Chains A and B, each alone.
Chain A
Amino acid sequence: MVSSYKVLIIDDTEEVLSALCKFFKQKGYVVLSASNGLDGLKMIESGKDDLDIIITDLVLPNISGVAVISIVKKKFPKLPVIAITGWGEHPEALAKEAKADLVMEKPFKLPELEKAARDLLAK
C-alpha cells in the first residue's frame, strides 16, 4: 500500500516529530516537517509544495498550532488538517474553533493517526 501524498508535520518535540516523520515515510508519504509554527507556516505559504494534508501539534513556539490551522483554513479551506495535542481540554476546544478536521489526543498509536489521515484524504 503505497501513497505518494505529501504531508507536513509540525511538532516541537524532537522525538515525536522524528517518529511521526519516520512512520509516514515508511507508509510511502512524502514528508515535510517543521518544529515551530512560523517555519511550518512559511512552508504552507510558499505554496510550491502542494500539500495534501497537515498534521500539527497545538502548542508550538511562536505561532501556535491553533493559529496555523486558522490561517490554513482561511487560505486553503479544503486542505485537511489533523491537530494532535498532549494537553488538557483548553487548546483542544480552541482547535475545534479553529476548524481542525480532527483532533487527536496524545498518546495515540501511529497506525491510528495514519488511518485517520487516509480517511481524510479519501474524502
Chain B
Amino acid sequence: MGPPIIGVSENIKKIKELVEHVAHTGFNTVILGESGVGKEVIAQNLYQKSPRVGKPFVKINCAALPEGLLESELFGYERGAFTGAEQKHRGKFQMAHGGVLLLDEIGDMSLVLQAKLLHVLQSGEFAPLGSEKDLKTDTWVIAATNHDLKQDISDGKFREDLYYRLNIIKIYISPLRERPEDIEPLIDYYLDQYASQLGSVKIERPTREVIERLKQYHWPGNVRELQNILKRMLVLGDSHLIVDELFEATGQKQSSPMVPNREQSVETVRSFLDLDNKNLIDNNSFSLKAAKKKAVDKVEREIIAYVLDKMDWNRSKAAKILKVSYKTLLNKITELSINPPASSREN
C-alpha cells in the first residue's frame, strides 16, 4: 500500500475527488507539480483505486537515463540487437502489461523518444530493439513532470500531439507554500508514521508556535522538504533551532527583489492598508487611490518621526534635513499627528 493523499486544502480535496472519478477509466494521465509535491503518491492512489490493482506498477525516471538506455529500458531488446546485448531484455512496457507505467519527469524525454512513445500510445503496440515483431501492450500510462509542458511545446521541446494524447486527465498539485493549511495534517501523518517505524519511541509534536512558523516558510522542496525537516527535528530535538536555520538558510533568497514572496507581500499590503481580514470585495472604502495615500502617509510619517527623534525634536534642524520649509514640517506634524516621545514632551 502506498501512502494516502494527505491534506485539507481545496487543491487536495479536488485531487481526491478527481482520483475517485477517474481511477477506473485507465485514461492516459498527466500529473503536474513542482518537485517534492507528491506526484508519485497521486499515481499510486490512482493505481490502487483502479481495477488494475494487483497488476504491476512500474516506474521509470525519464531524466535519469541517457536517451539510448532509456529507449531500451522502455521497449526492451532482443538478444544481439546491439553489441553487448547478450540476453533478451524485457522493457518496462512489457513488464507493466495489464498494470500501470509511471513515466516520471516526462518533460525531460528527448523528441525522438517522444515520437516513439506517441506511436505506442496511438497503436497500443511496440517493438523491442532488434525485434521484427510488434508486441501488444495494455498499459495505463501515467506521466509526471515539474515542467510547464505548454511552455515546452512553444519552445519546441515537447510534441503537441503527444501532449494531447497524454493529457486526457490532468492533475495539478499546488506547491506546498500555496496550501499552508495542509502542513499540520502532513506533520501529524508523518510523525505517526515515524513513531510506528521507530517502535516505542515517543515523538513530541512540534509546538503551536513552531507549526505557525513552518506555515510561513516558502517550502521550495515542498512535502519532501517537510519530511526531511521533521526527521531532523526527531533526531536533533531542538525544533526552534531547526526552524531558525530554515529561515536563515533561505533568507537571502527570500529577500531578493527578483523573487518576491507572495505571502510576505500580502502581509505588507494588509499592514499598510489596515485591511486586516476585512473582505476586500465588500469593502467599499477601498480604492487604489485611497490605498496609495494611506501608504504614502504611513511612510512619510515614519520618516519625519525618525528625523525629529534624531534631532531631539528640534523642528528647524529637522526641516533642513528633510529639505522642506519649517511651515510645511509643522503642517505635516499636525496632519499626520506625529507626537514627540514621552521623554521629549516634558521638555
Q: Which residues of A contact B (CB under 8 A)?
A: 38, 41-42, 45, 59, 61-64, 66-67, 70-71, 87-88, 90-91, 94
Contact = CB atoms under 8 A, between A and B. Distances in A.
A42 to B, nearest CB: 8
Contacts, number: 43
A117 to B, nearest CB: 25
Given A62-B169, A67-B27, A90 B22 contact: no
Nearest to B164: A90
Contacts of B17: 38
Contacts of B168: 64, 66-67, 94
B296 interface: no
B170 A88 contact: no
Contacts of A87: 164
Interface of B: 14, 17-18, 21-22, 25, 27, 160-161, 164-165, 167-172
A111 B160 CA distance: 32
A91 B170 CA distance: 14
B179 to A, nearest CB: 17
B165 A94 contact: yes
Contacts of B161: 90
Given A67-B169, A70-B27, A94 B21 contact: no
Contacts of B160: 88, 90
Contact of A64 (B14, B18, B169): B169
A114 B171 CA distance: 33
Contacts of B22: 63, 67
Given A41-B21, A63-B21, 17 more contacts: A38-B18, A38-B21, A42-B21, A45-B21, A62-B169, A62-B171, A62-B172, A63-B18, A63-B22, A64-B168, A66-B168, A67-B168, A70-B25, A71-B25, A90-B164, A94-B164, A94-B165
Contacts of A62: 14, 18, 169-172
A74 to B, nearest CB: 9
Contacts of A61: 170
Contacts of A94: 164-165, 168
B148 to A, nearest CB: 15
A91 B164 CA distance: 6
Contacts of A91: 164
B70 to A, nearest CB: 24
Contact of A67 (B25, B171, B172): B25
30 contacts: A38-B18, A41-B21, A42-B21, A61-B170, A62-B14, A62-B18, A62-B169, A62-B170, A62-B172, A63-B21, A63-B22, A63-B169, A64-B167, A64-B168, A64-B169, A64-B170, A66-B27, A66-B168, A67-B25, A67-B168, A70-B25, A71-B25, A87-B164, A88-B160, A90-B160, A90-B161, A90-B164, A90-B165, A94-B165, A94-B168
Contacts of A70: 25, 27
B287 to A, nearest CB: 26
A90 B153 CA distance: 14
A71 to B, nearest CB: 6
A31 B53 CA distance: 39
Nearest to B171: A62
A64 to B, nearest CB: 5
Nearest to B20: A38
A55 to B, nearest CB: 19
B12 to A, nearest CB: 14
Nearest to B162: A90
